[in-house]
Amino acid sequence: LIAGAGIAEARGPERAASAESSPRRLEHAIATLRTAQRELRARPREQIVAALADVVETWLAPDSSWFERAAAALPDATGFSPAMVRHALPAMLVPLRAPALGDLLDAEAKSQRGPGLILHILPGNLPGLAAVPAALSLAIGSAALLKAGRGDRVFPALFAASVAERDAALGACLAACYWRGGDRPCEDVALSAADLVVASGDDATIADLTARSRRRLIGHGHRMSFAVVAREVLSDGTVERQAAQRLAEDVAIWDQRGCLSPQVCIVEGDVDAARAFGAAVARALGELAERLTPARLTSAERLDVRRFRDTAEWRALGGERAALFALDAAGAGTVVVEPEPRVLPTPLCRSLRVLPLADLAELGALLAPVRAWLEGAGLAAPPARRPALARRLEDCGVHRVCELGEMQRPPLTWRQGGRPRLADWLDG
Amino acid sequence: VSPLYDRVLRFIDDAGADRFEALALAVFAHQFTHCRPYREYCLSRSQTPETVADWQAIPPVPIVAFKHADLCCGTPAQVFLSSGTSAGVEHRSRHQIPDLRLYRHSALAGLRQFLFPDAPRMRLVSLIHRVDDLPDSSLAQMVDWAMEAFGTECSSYVIGPQGIDFAAVTRALRESERDGEPVCVLTTTGALVCAIDHYRAEGSVFRLPHGSRLMDTGGDKGAPRHLSRNGLLHAVWNALAIPGYFCVNEYGMAELSSQYYDSVIADRVHGRHRSRRKLGAHWVRTLVLDPDALVPVQPGGCGLLCHFDLANAGSAMAVLSEDVGEQADDGFQLVGRAAGAELRGCSLSAVSPSDARTTAGIAD
Cα A333 to Cα A241, A266, A293, A323, A328: the distances in Å are 17, 18, 11, 14, 8
The rounded distance, in Å, linking the Cα atoms of B176 and B170 is 10
pLDDT given for residue B341 in this prediction: 41
pLDDT given for residue B39 in this prediction: 98
Q: Which residue has the higher pLDDT, A13 or B299?
A: B299
Q: Please indicate whether, in this complex, the C-beta atoms of B65 and A307 are within 8 angstroms of each other.
A: no
Confidence check: pLDDT of A9 > 60: no
CB contacts of B342 in chain A (<8 Å) are 300
Confidence check: pLDDT of A10 > 70: no
Would you place residue B342 in the very low, low, confident or very high pLDDT band (cuts 50, 70, 90)?
Answer: very low
Confidence check: pLDDT of A335 > 50: yes
Confidence check: pLDDT of B272 > 60: yes
- For range B135-153, the mean pLDDT: 97
Confidence check: pLDDT of A348 > 80: yes
CB contacts of B62 in chain A (<8 Å) are 306-307, 310, 314
pLDDT given for residue B84 in this prediction: 60
- For range B309-323, the mean pLDDT: 96
With pLDDT > 70 as the criterion, what percentage of chain A qualifies? 95
Cα A183 to Cα A120, A407, B126: the distances in Å are 16, 34, 44
DSSP-assigned letters across all residues of B99-135: -HHHHHHHHHHHHHHHT-TT-S-BEEEE-S--TTT-T
Confidence check: pLDDT of B361 > 80: no
pLDDT given for residue A18 in this prediction: 52
Scanning B180-295, the segments in alpha helix (DSSP H) are 189-202, 229-240, 264-269
B306 three-class SS: strand
- For range A211-219, the mean pLDDT: 92
Confidence check: pLDDT of B348 > 90: no
Confidence check: pLDDT of B339 > 70: no
pLDDT given for residue A150 in this prediction: 85
pLDDT given for residue B64 in this prediction: 93
Would you place residue A105 in the very low, low, confident or very high pLDDT band (cuts 50, 70, 90)?
Answer: very high
Strands (E), A302-348: 323-326, 334-337
Would you place residue A114 in the very low, low, confident or very high pLDDT band (cuts 50, 70, 90)?
Answer: very high
pLDDT given for residue A237 in this prediction: 95
For A150-184, letters b (16+ CB in 10 Å) and e give bbbbbbbbbbbbbbbbbbeebbbbbbbbbbeeebe
Would you place residue B347 in the very low, low, confident or very high pLDDT band (cuts 50, 70, 90)?
Answer: low
Single-letter amino acid, residue A316: A
Asked if residues B80 and B95 have their Cβ atoms less than 8 Å apart, the reply is yes
Confidence check: pLDDT of B300 > 90: no
Strand partners for A174 = A144
Would you place residue B293 in the very low, low, confident or very high pLDDT band (cuts 50, 70, 90)?
Answer: confident
Nearest CA in chain B to A125: B345
Q: Which residues contact B268 (CB under 8 A, 6 or more apart)?
A: B245
CB contacts of A222 in chain B (<8 Å) are 343, 346-348
- For range B285-313, the mean pLDDT: 93
Confidence check: pLDDT of A20 > 90: no
Look at strands A174-177 and A2-3 and give their pairing: antiparallel
What are the tens digits of pLDDT across the range A116-147? Answer: 999 999 998 899 999 999 999 999 999 999 99
Q: Average model confidence (pLDDT) for chain A?
A: 93
For A60-98, letters b (16+ CB in 10 Å) and e give beeebebbebbeebbbebbbbbeebbbbbbeebbbbbee
User: Which of B37, B64, B344 shows the shortest C-beta gap to A310?
Assistant: B64
What are the tens digits of pLDDT across the range A276-285? Answer: 999 999 999 9
Would you place residue B349 in the very low, low, confident or very high pLDDT band (cuts 50, 70, 90)?
Answer: low
Confidence check: pLDDT of B364 > 80: no
The rounded distance, in Å, linking the Cα atoms of B296 and A336 is 28
With pLDDT > 90 as the criterion, what percentage of chain B qualifies? 82
Q: Please indicate whether, in this complex, the C-beta atoms of B41 and A344 are within 8 angstroms of each other.
A: no
Q: Please indicate whether, in this complex, the C-beta atoms of B62 and A347 are within 8 angstroms of each other.
A: no
What are the tens digits of pLDDT across the range A244-272? Answer: 999 999 999 999 999 999 999 999 999 99
Would you place residue A32 in the very low, low, confident or very high pLDDT band (cuts 50, 70, 90)?
Answer: very high
User: Which of B64, B340, B359 shows the shortest C-beta gap to A311?
Assistant: B64
- Which of the residues B70, B305, B349, B364 would you substitute to probe the A interface, choosing the one with the greatest number of A C-beta atoms within 10 Å? B349
pTM listed for this prediction = 0.90
Give phi and psi for A387, each to the nearest 5.
-60, -45
Q: Which residue has the higher pLDDT, B300 or B295?
A: B295
CB contacts of B359 in chain A (<8 Å) are 298-300, 303
Which stretch of DSSP H or E encloses residue A192? Answer: helix A184-193
- Enter the ipTM: 0.89
Asked if residues A255 and A296 have their Cβ atoms less than 8 Å apart, the reply is no
Number of C-alpha atoms within 13 angstroms, CB side, residue A13? Answer: 30
Q: Please indicate whether, in this complex, the C-beta atoms of A347 and B351 are within 8 angstroms of each other.
A: yes
Q: Please indicate whether, in this complex, the C-beta atoms of A318 and B342 are within 8 angstroms of each other.
A: no
Q: Please indicate whether, in this complex, the C-beta atoms of B291 and A306 are within 8 angstroms of each other.
A: yes
CB contacts of A315 in chain B (<8 Å) are 68
- For range B93-120, the mean pLDDT: 97
CB contacts of A202 in chain B (<8 Å) are 343, 353
pLDDT given for residue A2 in this prediction: 41
| Segment among A205-214, B97-106, B168-177, B265-274 with least mean pLDDT | A205-214
- Which of the residues B44, B94, B346 would you substitute to probe the A interface, choosing the one with the greatest number of A C-beta atoms within 10 Å? B346
Asked if residues A352 and A265 have their Cβ atoms less than 8 Å apart, the reply is yes
Confidence check: pLDDT of A21 > 60: yes
pLDDT given for residue A182 in this prediction: 84
Q: Which residue has the higher pLDDT, B362 or A204?
A: A204
What are the tens digits of pLDDT across the range B195-234? Answer: 999 999 999 999 999 999 999 998 777 788 889 999 999 9
pLDDT given for residue B221 in this prediction: 76
- Angle at which helices A131-139 and A155-166 pack, to 10 degrees? 40
CB contacts of B90 in chain A (<8 Å) are 311
DSSP state of B212: -
Confidence check: pLDDT of B85 > 60: no
B227 three-class SS: coil
DSSP-assigned letters across all residues of A108-130: IITT----SEEEEE--SSSTTTT
Q: Is A23 exposed, middle or buried (0-12, 13-18, 19+ CB in 10 A)?
A: middle
- For range B7-19, the mean pLDDT: 97
